Structure 1
Amino acid sequence: MGKTFECLSEQHIAWLKEQRVFFVATAADKGHVNVSPKGYVQGTFAILSPKSVAYLDFTGSGAETVAHSLQNGRITLCFVAFKGDPVIMRLYGTSKVVPRAAAESFLPNFEAEFTQHSGFRAVIVVDVHRVQGSCGFSIPIFDYVSERDILKENFAKKDNDQANDYRILKNSFSIDLLPSIGHRILNNKAPLVAARFKEGFWFGYKDMSWPEWIWSSWNFWSFRANLQSRDIAMMAFGGLLAFAWFQATSTRPDALLETMHEG
């Protein structure tokens, strides 16, 4: 039978440290529910206190957990025993995102192999308010063979700046268009101007309209200082698209007169 606890006991902590995989579930107020599996557990998951845990978030093609954490923070971590006693443990809590640039105080809790890796993008800190243990009678038994090194090897080929560019391109928004780890609000190296080239590929931007952005600038010089070269390129590109659209959709004066005469 399932049991509920207010915090992690020493027995819970010992069991968690033996696990090799866990799952993270989050959801925004509207839109998709996300479930992400996590590996490298023994080097990237840490128990900060009986009511607080944290794990390293690595760069991938999506960034749903960060986006949902920014909006409402609801999160559940699920651990499953694939050997030994049939145990399932869920940690219900509220998550907080600590970007890599601001995570220095958390790094001693994890293995340096991972905190120094260019793929590491944030620490997800979870304040746990409910611990639930239950029986995994239907969960199959598996033998652990090894970790997959594909993610580590892939980002080992990129330096920190290249990895950050990837996050801007692929991780600026969730699939429901919520801001995420590559977005300007968490990444001051992201451009200020947005453009979507194709499904899933975005450049980061800040959530301000052009009038709000201009008003917030003290003067023309500070406005210009905020622009990066690709911001200027994106504005020029957007202007050309707008002009082309206007030319293609506007009615010529002579055509309008012809329509009036026909009427």
Structure 2
Amino acid sequence: MGQLFEALSPRHCAFIEAQKIFFVGTAAEEGTVNLSPKGGDSLRVIDGNTLAWLNLTGSGNESAAHVLQNPRMTVMFCAFEGAPMILRAYGQARVLHRGDLDWDEAMALFPPSVAARQIFLLDIDSVQSSCGMSVPLYDYQADRVDLANWSERQGQQGIEAYWRKKNQQSLDGFESEIVVRSGLPAVQDPEQ
């Protein structure tokens, strides 16, 4: 049976900091529900009621578009080694883009990356822990470097062109606001 908490405890925070992967769930009022795996050095526990995670450039931009429509978000962690546990943080999220006033302060929490697309701040309403005894055991080998290598090859201009082409709308056609809120010019070069 799961247990409910109003905030992350020190035990929960230690568990989160030991994880190599986490999952983010978002949904607008209508349309596709999104569940994204995340990894690398992209999550910070700010305090017992706040998580921040760095969203790197990827093929879609569902989380940003969903949060603008409906700010609810679930972040889930599960133990793939050691004692079993699943931990979910439920709350209301907001998305920061490069053009937002608090971007620099939030970005200072993470390693620099040309692929940095958004930062999400989750205000936690509740936390649930459950047993996780059916989650398989896996051995962590390493973080993948594919995205970092691809991003470096693209450079800032290439990343911004990719945002224009692939990251402005969700699968359901919801705007992500990545172009306008990142301070990019509204008109795209037809060659990109």
Structure-2 change in CA distance of 1:33 and 1:22 (3 Å): same
Q: Per-residue deviation at 1:181?
A: 4.5
- In 2, the alpha carbon distance for the partners of 1:174 and 1:167 equals 12
Three-state SS of the structure 2 residue aligned to 1:157 is helix
The equivalent position to 1:94 in structure 2, one of 87, 92, 98, is 92
Q: Per-residue deviation at 1:108?
A: 2.9
Residue 128 of structure 1: aligned partner: 124
- In 2, the alpha carbon distance for the partners of 1:44 and 1:87 equals 21
- In 2, the alpha carbon distance for the partners of 1:100 and 1:49 equals 23
Residue 138 of structure 1: aligned partner: 134
- In 1, the alpha carbon distance for the partners of 2:149 and 2:58 equals 13
Residue 77 of structure 2: aligned partner: 79
Residue 34 of structure 1: aligned partner: 34
Which amino acid letter does the alignment assign opposite residue 59 of structure 2?
Answer: S
- Gaps of at least 5 residues in structure 1 are 192-227, 234-263
- In 1, the alpha carbon distance for the partners of 2:184 and 2:139 equals 43
Task: Decide whether the 8 Å contact of 2:21 with 2:37 is kept in 1.
Answer: yes
Which amino acid letter does the alignment assign opposite residue 60 of structure 1?
Answer: G
Is 1:44 aligned to residue 42 of structure 2?
A: yes
Residue 159 of structure 1: aligned partner: 155
Task: Decide whether the 8 Å contact of 2:99 with 2:183 is kept in 1.
Answer: no
Superposition pairs of residues 213-232 of structure 1, within 5 angstroms: 228=187, 230=189
Residue 8 of structure 2: aligned partner: 8
- In 2, the alpha carbon distance for the partners of 1:190 and 1:23 equals 32
Is 1:119 aligned to residue 112 of structure 2?
A: no
Is 1:170 aligned to residue 166 of structure 2?
A: yes
Three-state SS of the structure 2 residue aligned to 1:17 is helix
- In 2, the alpha carbon distance for the partners of 1:181 and 1:152 equals 23
RMSD, aligned CA: 1.5
- In 2, the alpha carbon distance for the partners of 1:179 and 1:64 equals 9
- In 1, the alpha carbon distance for the partners of 2:173 and 2:59 equals 14
Task: Decide whether the 8 Å contact of 1:63 with 1:181 is kept in 2.
Answer: no
Three-state SS of the structure 2 residue aligned to 1:31 is coil
- Gaps of at least 5 residues in structure 2 are none
- Bigger strand share: 2
Q: TM-score, normalised by structure 1?
A: 0.69
Task: Decide whether the 8 Å contact of 1:167 with 1:181 is kept in 2.
Answer: no
Q: Per-residue deviation at 1:117?
A: 1.4
- In 1, the alpha carbon distance for the partners of 2:188 and 2:147 equals 31
Task: Decide whether the 8 Å contact of 1:164 with 1:182 is kept in 2.
Answer: no
Q: Per-residue deviation at 1:49?
A: 1.1
Task: Decide whether the 8 Å contact of 1:3 with 1:134 is kept in 2.
Answer: yes
Is 1:19 aligned to residue 19 of structure 2?
A: yes
Q: Give every structure 1 segment of 4 or more consecutive aligned residues whose post-TM-superposition deviation is greater than 6 Å.
A: none
- In 1, the alpha carbon distance for the partners of 2:69 and 2:25 equals 14
Q: Per-residue deviation at 1:107?
A: 2.4
Bigger RCO of structures 1 and 2 (CA < 8 A, at least 6 apart):
2
Is 1:108 aligned to residue 104 of structure 2?
A: no
Q: How many residues align?
A: 188
- Bigger helix share: 1
- In 2, the alpha carbon distance for the partners of 1:229 and 1:88 equals 44
Q: Per-residue deviation at 1:39?
A: 1.1
- In 2, the alpha carbon distance for the partners of 1:53 and 1:132 equals 15
Which amino acid letter does the alignment assign opposite residue 187 of structure 1?
Answer: S
Q: Per-residue deviation at 1:188?
A: 3.3
